[in-house]
Amino acid sequence: MIKFFHPNKIFLITSRAPKYVFFLFIVVLSIGLTEALVLSPEDYKQGHSVRIMYVHVPAAWLSLGIFSTISILSFGIFIFKIKHFSLIAKSLAPSGFLFSIIALVTGSIWGKPTWGTWWAWDARITSMLILSLFYFIYLLSWKIFENKENVIKITSIIAILGLINVPIIKFSVDWWSTLHQASSVKILSKTSIHPSMLTPLIIMTAAFALFSLLIFLMKYNTEMIKNKNKGLDRL
Amino acid sequence: MINELISMSGYGAYVWSAFSFAMIGFTSLFLIIKLDQIKEKKNFASKFSSLNAEKARFVESHIINQEILSITVKV
């Protein structure tokens, strides 16, 4: 098990796995797009605009999931002093940021035919915008702070503070009266979405998750090469 | 059939722009990360080529460095 987490092994995996993940991503995305745009039925109320759900919802789920993971890793950095977690968190952030932007923009596009407006300052949309800002500040901190010890501390604090926003996003539709609809897909109770719509949603979520894994592997590999470059400077 | 797929009963502009935005986002992020990776690999190869023989042998003795250099040659 320890051998599996050896830097040499990790580097080999992050170097060679992306091409297989990329292939799998293209296959799953192709199936997902066919299901989402062609095979799935239109909604009896929203018509074809419901298809936006197949990019909006996976992007929102994954951006929340990735930020929660970054926050948990940041707790690990403070409590267990595992600095390596910062590299994992840093490599996860770019895809999480992109997903939060996709969720906001596609939500805005969906809002126009559904609510008659591109934007509303309601609790769900505003808290999602705050999540994007947390991602942006997190990534910006990695760019602007030079000292490694300081940047790890600062980014970890940002991620931990941002975690407060995660339950607010999740429960905003229950706590406040919002334009945004309540969740249709529930883990603990009965899902109110029809299987003909749930299937493409799950496939698109899998495709988005594979894309996130692909970006994570490539970014992690790049960060390891950057560290090696710094090592060469010290020789 | 094709016309219906494009127009989607008047919702086509919304649906296609949402999907296009997501796909453009995916492609852009993939390219940004890939180009950064290539730049770092080239940077490594350039620094390696400026090392003297003794230091080069030391660097080459590490598996990760061997892997970076082998990929850099392909790039």
Most confident segment among A1-5, A136-140, A228-232, B42-46: A136-140
Tokens of residue B29, six digits: 């992020």
Q: Is residue A231 part of a domain?
A: no
Contact A218 B33 (CB under 8 A): yes
Q: Percentage of chain B with pLDDT > 70?
A: 93
CA distance A197 to A4: 39
Task: Please check whether residue A100 is in contact with residue A56, taking contact to mean a CB–CB distance below 8 angstroms.
Answer: no
- At B52-72, the pLDDT tens digits run 888 888 887 888 888 788 866
Provide the shortest C-alpha distance from residue B1 to chain A (in Å).
10
Whether A226 maps to a domain, the answer reads no
What is the average pLDDT score of chain A?
91
pLDDT value at A82 more than 60: yes
Give A188's pLDDT tier (boundaries 50, 70, 90): low
Q: What are the chain B neighbours of A228 within 8 Å (beta carbons)?
A: 44, 64-65, 68
Please tell me whether residue A43 adopts helix, strand or coil conformation: strand
Dump pLDDT digits (tens) for A149-174: 899 999 999 999 999 999 999 888 88
Q: Is the pLDDT of residue B7 over 90?
A: no
Contact A8, A215 (CB under 8 A): no
DSSP A119-130: ----HHHHHHHH
Residue A197 pLDDT exceeds 70: yes
Largest CA distance in chain B: 71
Retrieve residue B32's tokens: 């940004």
pLDDT of the residue at B75:
45
Q: Please name the residues in contact with A88: beta carbons below 8 A apart, sequence gap of 6 or more.
A: A73, A220
**Does residue A84 lie in a domain region?**
yes
Q: Is the pLDDT score of A61 beyond 90?
A: yes
Is A233 inside a domain boundary?
A: no
**How many separate domains does chain A show?**
1
- Asked if A52 lies within 8 A of B14 by C-beta distance, the reply is yes
Domain ranges (residues) in chain B: 2-74
Task: Please tell me the predicted confidence (pLDDT) of residue B65.
Answer: 82
Query: Which is more confident, A132 or B60?
Result: A132
User: A108, A93, A41, A26: which is closest to B21 by C-alpha?
Assistant: A108
The answer to whether the CB atoms of A215 and B29 lie below 8 A apart is: yes
pLDDT beyond 90 at A38: yes
| Domain containing residue A211 | 3-42+49-220
**Which chain B residues touch A98 with a CB distance below 8 Å?**
25-26, 29
Question: What was the pLDDT predicted at A230?
Answer: 87
| A109 vs A12, higher pLDDT | A109
Compare A182 and A154 and report the one with higher pLDDT: A154
